[in-house]
A and B are shown apart, each in its own frame.
Chain A
Amino acid sequence: MLQHIVIRSLMIIPTLLIVSIVAFILSMSTPGDEIDQALALEGVTLDDDRISVTNYNSQYKKKAKQLGKDKPPFYFTIQPSNYPSYKEWSDINVYDRKDIKRLIKSNIPLESAISYIQAIGDFENKYYDAKDTLSADLKTDWKQSIALLRKPKQLTSIRKELIYLANEYQDTPHIEDITEILTLIPLDGKNSTWHVPSLRWHGINNQYHSWISSFITGDFRMSILDAQPVFTKIRSAMKWTVLLILMNLVLSLLISIPLSILSAYYANSRLDRLISGLSLAVYSVPVFWMATLLIVYFTTDTYSKWLDVFPSPASFYSESETGLFGLLSKYFGRLILPVICISLKDIAYLTRVIRADLIKESTKDYATTLKAKGVSKWNAMWKHILPNSMISTVTIIISNIPLALAGGLIIEVIFNIPGMGRLMYSSIIQSDWNVVYAILMLISLVTVVFYLIGDVLYTFLNPKVSYSNDE
């Protein structure tokens, strides 16, 4: 038994490691750029002048270093061999990186891509020098040709377009520059060579390693959005989620246990059928629909004045309360609707499961013996069958708790409750991956631990099940 528990708890570690790697790979493949976002929040943006460009470049590199994003992402990378190594890549101007990447993707060697982009940079500098003397027409034309040169989607068609532009504006001062720049780049695609994948080993000085080692030591890093520690963010969010889960648990048990006892006591009667049918119906109601209906009918005064009993979910929660009871007493009224929404599905599910368990128990031999001895049906149900069926019921309830987290996500988003689900949702949307990693890891830890507890409790309560004769 003890050995089984120890082995099961040790098995959590590889699971969590795989989760962390998956989360990290996912974050690497997202299109958004965290550093761009962090800089935009600090007010550093790209403007239409040269100082801003150089400034942005240095700020970006500084921020990347500060966030540890200048390191290679993982222990190794597999890239086409024409890709620049991580060191080469970090030397390139930030402003030009996207353009160079695009050129490399169209099979242009790195050196010619860099020289091409540099020529465009010089050309752009010329534009900035002459900017004040140009007419508005010429300015937009010049800008347009720079943009075209920077983003050659289809290189052959872009050349046609540029030649057209050059012919159109014979008298513009920059036409020689464009033709000169165009000679720098091989446009016919003959340069494309066969790029085998190359594996590059980076060692332990990488982003994943530093993140996971700081995570293990308990440092969850900072949130990129507001520079708050992730730990404090998660702690204040966790409070709400725990509150919701507890209220959900209490409500669903209070309703589902009496219902299932009634249903099993009067098995196959009209009442039983009504309860079972109702629970099936409630189980099929999508949570977010129920939430929408409740919000529309109970928090707005559109339909009738007296229905507007609950405060609107659009208003904010103040974060000053610390304890669970403080939150509960202050926001009880506002939490009623969300808890009803979450618990409806649980009530339906638990009622069906507990009823099935009770009926299963009541068909066993000892129940028949009780009946033969003359114990009343109610006494048999209450004193003998219910305690026996509690074994599997407790397991089900405990394994069901992590599922409430998933149901809680959408409810928290709809009702604007600052819990874990909403934090995850907003962090994903704003690509604040430090928060997302921490939430994913914590939630998978909680889930696995609860499954383990359910499993162990089942063995503990039911001596018939033993792991000694496992295969």
Chain B
Amino acid sequence: MSNNNLLYRQVQSPMVLKIAKWIIGIFLVIGLCSHFIANDMPLLAKYEGSVSSPATVEFLSDIGIVDSRIYDETKFKWKIMPPIPYSSDQLNSRFNVSVGPLDNQEVSSLRYRHWLGTDQLGRDVLAGLVHGTNIAVKVGLLSVFFSLLLGLYLGLLSGYFGDNSWKINIFALLIGTLIKALGLYYILYPIIVNPGLFYYLNLTFIVTILQLALYKFIPGSTKPSISLPIDLITTKIIEVLNSIPTLFIILAFLAIFTKPSIWNVIIIISIIGWPKFARLARAEILQIKNLEYIESAKSIGLSDFQIILKHALPNAITSVISITAFAISGAILLESTLSFLGLGIPLDHVSWGSMLADARVNFSSWWLALFPGLAIFFVLISFYIIGNQLNEKMNARH
């Protein structure tokens, strides 16, 4: 115990922890409300005789709920602007060189001042930071969520069943694999051809009937006959993923997408990230699988999957959760690295990495190189500190 205290004492200072928590809180709030914090559209305005909220419309259209709408800026009777009255992609024609935060900016009022300067196209750096936060939050949280799900699923199954105890009927396995392959094929089908909904329904119906008929009429098709080496499969996939350095495998995966999109990045980072979770979940369940309460759960007739869900999962999840903070920081770092290289995120989205890439071209503007980097730095270090704290709590439990 004293050992752990020595190891983790230095980051445990309550002041540092408090600051880290505040930074993460601010990061999440800014990321989720970025449209209401930095926007060239007003929060509330009187437009064509009625009160409307262009910023909300933009926010909803960004999620995909409503269609985007173009407002004529001269027709606002009155308007309430967001705290930063610029959006990340708004070009300012008055400048053809970047303007520093300390320069004389000749703006109408202090409210319209570029507090962190602009880049060479006149885009406000502060607004870019706010919108970059949005992307970082999206990528960080969603990719970690997906990899957590996948890692827990495979880790729990492989730890609980091992190589020998997941008994499956060979027929069920073959038919199931065939049906899953067909399903995958028809999920990818719209990319290849356009069959229409009717064909899907038809196919699902026929396949279901086929499956039921086979199960019903083939003798012994419900009795387990072979065991599925789920542990071997999972560990082999993890080994393959681990054998290529992260950036190399990401570059190779990114090459197959024709259109850059934030979802590509999220999917790829989750594919890269799940082994960590799977390994932890597997180790955790290996420890508890032979404990008495699992035995007694078995003895009262709970099925394997009920035991995994009700007893194994709650035990494994605490230690798995303890590395999410590290995983989120890793995802944010990867996203900014990729957008720094100009890959993955569409070019019209401003992200911290792409802002830094701009700075590489503009040597004379120190503010372009400094502020996005500081943003990444503070978010990463806060997540590391929180991650250390979580880890320590988990270690103390054991």
Contact = CB atoms under 8 A, between A and B. Distances in A.
Contacts of A276: 10-11
Interface stretch (B104-112, B123-131, B237-245): B237-245
B196 interface: yes
Given A406-B246, A414-B360, A424-B248, A195 B385 contact: no
A197 interface: yes
Given A106-B194, A195-B193, A276-B11, A289 B373 contact: yes
B253 interface: yes
B377 A288 contact: no
B193 A296 contact: no
A286 B2 contact: no
Nearest to B237: A18
Contacts of A57: none
Interface in A200-226: none
Contact-residue size bin, chain B (C-beta under 8 Å from the other chain): 35 or more
Contacts of B97: none
Given A26-B252, A30-B256, A194-B199, A292 B356 contact: yes
Interface in B345-398: 353, 356, 359-360, 363-364, 366, 369-370, 372-373, 376-377, 380-381, 384-385
A197 B193 CA distance: 12
A428 B192 contact: no
Interface in B159-196: 182, 185, 189, 192-196
Nearest to A106: B194
Contact of B245 (A359, A403, A451): A403
B11 to A, nearest CB: 7
Contact-residue size bin, chain A (C-beta under 8 Å from the other chain): 35 or more
Contacts of A285: 373, 377
Interface in A282-305: 283-289, 292-293, 295-296, 300, 302-303
A448 B243 contact: yes
A192 interface: yes
Given A105-B193, A284-B381, A29 B256 contact: yes
Contacts of A16: 243
Interface stretch (A126-134, A163-171, A265-273, A385-393): A265-273
B66 interface: no
A414 B369 CA distance: 14
Contacts of A343: none
Interface string B240-277: 10111111100111111010000000000000000000
B356 A289 contact: yes
A292 B376 contact: no
B377 A406 contact: no
Given A197-B185, A276-B10, A410 B240 contact: no
A236 interface: no
A147 interface: no
A281 interface: yes
Interface stretch (A243-251, A324-332, A439-447, A461-469): A439-447
B359 A14 contact: no
Interface string B1-39: 011001101110000000000000000000000000000
Contacts of B353: 288
Contacts of B202: 194
Contacts of B381: 280-281, 284
A277 B356 contact: no
B86 interface: no
Given A293-B373, A409-B248, A448-B243, A107 B194 contact: yes
A30 B255 contact: yes
B236 interface: yes
A429 to B, nearest CB: 8
Given A31-B258, A428-B252, A431-B255, A284 B380 contact: yes
Interface of A: 11, 14-16, 18-19, 22-23, 26-27, 29-31, 78-80, 82, 104-107, 192, 194-195, 197, 267-268, 272-273, 276-277, 280-281, 283-289, 292-293, 295-296, 300, 302-303, 356, 359-360, 363, 402-403, 405-406, 409-410, 413-414, 421, 424-425, 428, 431, 436, 439-440, 443-444, 447-448, 451
Closest 4 CB pairs of A and B: A406-B245, A289-B373, A284-B381, A284-B380
17 contacts: A15-B243, A27-B255, A107-B194, A194-B202, A276-B10, A276-B11, A277-B11, A289-B377, A296-B369, A359-B7, A363-B6, A403-B245, A406-B245, A409-B251, A421-B248, A424-B251, A440-B248
Given A197-B185, A289-B356, 16 more contacts: A15-B243, A79-B192, A80-B192, A105-B193, A195-B193, A277-B11, A280-B10, A284-B381, A286-B333, A286-B376, A292-B359, A292-B373, A303-B366, A405-B248, A414-B360, A428-B254
Interface of B: 2-3, 6-7, 9-11, 182, 185, 189, 192-196, 199, 202, 236, 239-240, 242-248, 251-256, 258, 329, 333, 336-337, 340-341, 353, 356, 359-360, 363-364, 366, 369-370, 372-373, 376-377, 380-381, 384-385
